[in-house]
Chain A
Amino acid sequence: MIRYTVRRLLWMVVVLLGVSLIVFSLIFLSPGDPIRLMLGEDPDPDTIERLRQHYGLDEPFHVQYFLWLGNALQGDLGRSIRQRAPVADLVLSRIGATIELAAASVLLAMVIGIPLGVLAAVRRGGWLDSGSMALSLVGVSMPNFWLGLVLLSYVALNVAWVPVFGRGPAFTQAVTALFTAGDPGPLWDSVRHLLLPATALGTAIAGLVTRLTRSSLLEVLAHDYVRTARAKGLREGRVVNRHALRNALLPVITVVGLQFGFLLGGAITTEVVFAWPGAGRLIVDAIRQRDFPIVQGGVLLVAASFVLINLLVDLSYAMLDPRIRYD
């Protein structure tokens, strides 16, 4: 396990370096001079030259890249052109909201998807099976931001306790408030704000989880040890829940973990629909204002979280299933 972990960690460093190179090159190649953007209309040519030297923009590509990388490794991702604040602070203050939304979506997807998948597998070939499969396919096919818009116009505007926009208190803080002050108010506020965005973002994953749970459970149910359990005279419910489902859920959990990373990217449109103050919306706003340091830093940090989450999923899977380590 240690060898596997070290190998994966080293590979993660290479991936992160590659990702940083892609992100840097993208902005380097972008048309438009950041200094001119910073100074606005009719800037003084001397000032432009001075600032170009100051920021090292007159250096060749590789020197600029290593300068930027060196700073990034020390937590300095540059300053926002419009907001005049450190990019790292801006992105880090928003990424918690994105992770919270992604986590809520994944949780919702599992709560809906796993029971539906189990039902479909147990009643294979019946109407419950075809119904849940059809439902999951529809779920997978709907664009999350459109579902968000539909939920907004048909639910949020008609149900008084469902808020239309924004985020409540941070979920972790709300839970802390519940346990320290015994006040359930912030938690309720947090959950009701999460409900629609998480549904919009999580529906496609729920579809995926349903299908995966079904196929994985069907495979496990065909194994000899399940036949043994049945032969012992165990009730079907116990066979499925205690013997088959535990093993069937392993691949489901892996895929869900990987989807969590994807959600960090997919959350962008949902964040825009629900005015959710996450990193995705920060990046989109920055693109509109041509504030490239934020785009650069934001994409890098979101990508780094994605790589890190994938690593954690891989490691936990390798811990649960020893066969993976020897691949």
Chain B
Amino acid sequence: MTSERGTRPGRRLWRRLLSNKGAVIGGVVITLLIITALFAPHITPQDPYRQNLWERYRPPEWFRGERFLGTDDLGRDVLSRIIMGSRVSLMVGLVATSLSLVGGVALGGMAGYVGGRTDNVMMRLMDIVLALPPILLAIAIVAVLGPNIVNAMMAIAIVRVPMMARVVRSQVLSLREEMFTEAARAIGCSHVRVVLRHILINAWPPALVLATLGMGTAIVTEASLSFLGLGTQPPAISWGRMLSVGREAIRTAPHVTLYPGLAIAITVLGFNLLGEGLRDVFDPHLRGR
């Protein structure tokens, strides 16, 4: 701890994050994923959409040939499709998590700051939404709105709002009683300014942890919805959709399902490692638990 004394809080947190092995591994995985998604069209070894019915279900060739991870039911290159599919997964995770963050911060912030009856009614409403199994609610929402990627993102975001709202609310409740909040009120700051500039700015660490862990959950939920035919629709490529297609040839070509799923698992693992690392950094009491 002595080495940390005298440094600025931001740098101290950063140093703690870098000394957390899990967080570093998670961070590297996520960075690689982001780079892959950004440059996907330029780095795919083959055209991920090109069909070749003569080359259906070719097994992985590793370094022996062009089809590194083999081909799917229409002879398309599995590796290229996994690389392209990273865009959908990452986008769904980012958009759905951002939406749930906005919703959760707005609702949880209001409930926590206003308090009283508003807080009570809002939190009970959140409890009711939480009483539905999340994947079931997401499926029901998509079934009603129509199966496509935008509705899937909306559904995933809606399902995650109550949890986010709860976390933000509990932070706001304690920050509301802090001296600096009272000081801000005393010098005449408006309620909106107090909430935005003084409370929410200090409430972000647990929200960030939940959002990072939520990225993984959102990606798995999208994959589940696409697997059931309720998420991404063809010709768009998503990992869940690849699993759904590969399922039909599970006996003869297990590689078509193995690798997209591995991509999902590694991505989720990355977000989990980073999320837990962040939690340890913000709350050192929990370290090693």
Contact = CB atoms under 8 A, between A and B. Distances in A.
Contacts of A143: 220, 223-224, 261, 264-265, 268
A142 B254 contact: no
A205 to B, nearest CB: 14
Nearest to A154: B254
Interface of B: 124-125, 127-129, 131-137, 139-141, 143-146, 216, 220, 223-224, 227-230, 243, 246-247, 250-251, 254, 257-258, 261, 264-266, 268-269, 272-273, 289
A261 B133 contact: yes
Task: Select the residue from B135, B144, B251, B254 with max chain A CB neighbours within 10 A.
Answer: B144
A142 B257 CA distance: 13
Contact of A153 (B134, B140, B251): B251
Contact of A265 (B136, B230, B264): B136
Interface string A138-171: 1011110111011011100100000000000000
Contacts of A306: 131-133
A262 interface: yes
A288 to B, nearest CB: 7
Contacts of B132: 19, 22, 265, 299, 303, 306
Chain A: interface secondary structure? Answer: helix
6 contacts: A18-B128, A19-B132, A141-B268, A145-B227, A146-B243, A295-B143
Contact of B289 (A22, A141, A218): A218
Task: Select the residue from B140, B145, B223, B228 with max chain A CB neighbours within 10 A.
Answer: B140
B133 A303 contact: yes
Contacts, number: 130
A303 B204 CA distance: 32
A262 B130 CA distance: 10
A31 interface: yes
A38 interface: no
B253 to A, nearest CB: 9
A14 B124 contact: yes
A96 to B, nearest CB: 17
Contact of A15 (B127, B254, B273): B127
Interface string A278-313: 001001100110000001000100110011001000
A268 interface: yes
Given A295-B140, A302-B136, A310-B131, A141 B250 contact: no
A26 B131 contact: no
Contacts of A303: 131-133, 136
Nearest to B132: A303
Interface in A10-33: 14-15, 18-19, 22-23, 26-27, 29-31
Nearest to B143: A287
B272 A137 contact: yes
Interface string A110-149: 0000000000000000000000000001101111011101
B118 to A, nearest CB: 17
Contacts of A266: 133, 135
B264 A299 contact: no
Contacts of B128: 14-15, 18-19, 22
A268 B139 contact: yes
Contacts of A284: 139, 228
Contacts of B247: 149, 273
A30 B135 CA distance: 19
Nearest to A286: B143
A105 interface: no
A64 interface: no
Given A19-B132, A262-B133, 7 more contacts: A19-B131, A22-B129, A143-B224, A143-B268, A146-B223, A261-B133, A299-B136
A272 interface: yes
A8 to B, nearest CB: 12
Given A153-B254, A273-B247, A137 B223 contact: no
A283 B230 CA distance: 12
B143 to A, nearest CB: 4
Contact of A18 (B125, B141, B251, B268): B125
Interface string A250-272: 00000000000110111011001
Contacts of A22: 128-129, 132, 137
Contacts of A5: none
A215 interface: yes
A154 B253 CA distance: 11
A180 to B, nearest CB: 35
B272 to A, nearest CB: 6
A280 B230 CA distance: 14
A315 to B, nearest CB: 16
A14 to B, nearest CB: 7
Contacts of A147: 261
B261 A146 contact: yes
The 9 closest A-B pairs by CB, nearest first: A265-B133, A146-B261, A18-B128, A153-B254, A141-B269, A265-B136, A30-B144, A215-B289, A141-B268
Contacts of B227: 145, 269, 272
A136 B38 CA distance: 31
A283 B139 contact: yes
B144 A27 contact: yes
Given A284-B228, A288-B229, A306-B131, A146 B144 contact: no
Contacts of A295: 140, 143
B133 A26 contact: no
A103 to B, nearest CB: 16
Contacts of B264: 143, 146
B140 A268 contact: no
A236 B136 CA distance: 45
